[in-house]
Amino acid sequence: MPMSQRPRRLRLLPKMREALAEVRLHPAQFIAPLFVRLGENLRNPIASMPGVYQFSPDTALVELRRLEKLGVGGFMLFGVTEGVKKDALGSHAHDPKNAVCETLMRAKEAGVKMLAMTDLCYCEYTNHGHCGPLTAGPGVSTVDNDLTIQRLGTQAIVHARAGAEVVAPSGMMDGGVESIRAALDAEGKEQVAILAYAVKYASSFYGPFRDAAESPPQFGDRKSYQMDFRRGEREAIAEALADVEQGADMVMVKPGGPYVDILRGVTDAVDVPTAVYQVSGEYAMVKAAAERGWIDERGVVLETMTAFRRAGASLVVTYYAGDICAWLTDAE
């Protein structure tokens, strides 16, 4: 490089670096996941996810108000179900008085204005821990795809009636988005958007989530329906395009950090917004290293979020949502 070209000139001064920043973070871009369960005055810490809790609907409302004050753009609810209420079909997911619906209704009644999102799946509600009713008969037991997508439409309606503005099917069921869109439209809920977990890998990064949601598979794994991380970008793009064709308003890539290449490829291929989920294992690793003083937690998190945005994500689902928004406010 000739010495007449000195790229460092544009890095020397903080005001120059700030003026030339191409990727910026804003609180509205972040979605906070919340684990909710029935009860009163519950705020159960999750050992594998420091700073994350299971909330009852009343304490969840307190947390939502805190997050809204920080400027967090939205929240996504995950239901935690008592063992006695679980069955092979995940029937409690359709109960309009379950924890997700109760929390949604309280948030709406209290005037919480954050974007209200809900996870659509059955792993938290089935007694076997898989993402829908299982196939019967001889052969490999897996989730019954077609029965599950019928039931997902019902779950979506229950959430929409309670106040969900976005439903997010996460089970990787073929045809799930189409079934949900048809059910919502037939119910007169055309305004409810679908954020499809279009590209979700069978990942080892989900361990702490299964503690938080109390939803580990009771046998086997989820590799027969979640994606194989050894496959390339073409399959991911095909999955995302299929969900868009079926009516998805947004698509998600999950996990985040190990899949920014996939996120970039999907973002370039679809004509709807993309989201990314920084999952429980990613969060727990940063927390563990930060607690030992091995990394600068704030610096690592903001750098990671910037990478997600640089790779094309319009929204980031992260357990750090509240912290990020507080840090961004401090920086102003």
Active-site residue set: 200, 254
Dump the DSSP string for 84-144: GG-BTT-GGGG-TTSHHHHHHHHHHHTT--SEEEEEE-STTTBSS-SSSPBP-SSS---B-
Q: Is 233 helix (H, G, I), strand (E, B) or coil?
A: helix
Q: Is 317 helix (H, G, I), strand (E, B) or coil?
A: strand
Q: CA quadruple 224, 151, 168, 246: dihedral positive or negative?
A: positive
Q: Say if residues 187 and 162 touch (Cβ distance below 8 Å).
A: no
The Cα 206–Cα 289 span in angstroms is 18
- Ramachandran angles phi, psi of 121, nearest 5°: -165, 175
Cα 315–129–206 angle (5° rounding)?
40
The Cα 1–Cα 7 span in angstroms is 10
Q: Say if residues 59 and 43 touch (Cβ distance below 8 Å).
A: yes
The Cα 276–Cα 279 span in angstroms is 9
Tokens representing 48? 């594998």
The Cα 118–Cα 197 span in angstroms is 12
Q: Is 7 helix (H, G, I), strand (E, B) or coil?
A: helix
Q: Say if residues 272 and 250 touch (Cβ distance below 8 Å).
A: yes
The Cα 187–Cα 303 span in angstroms is 42
Tokens representing 300? 């690592």
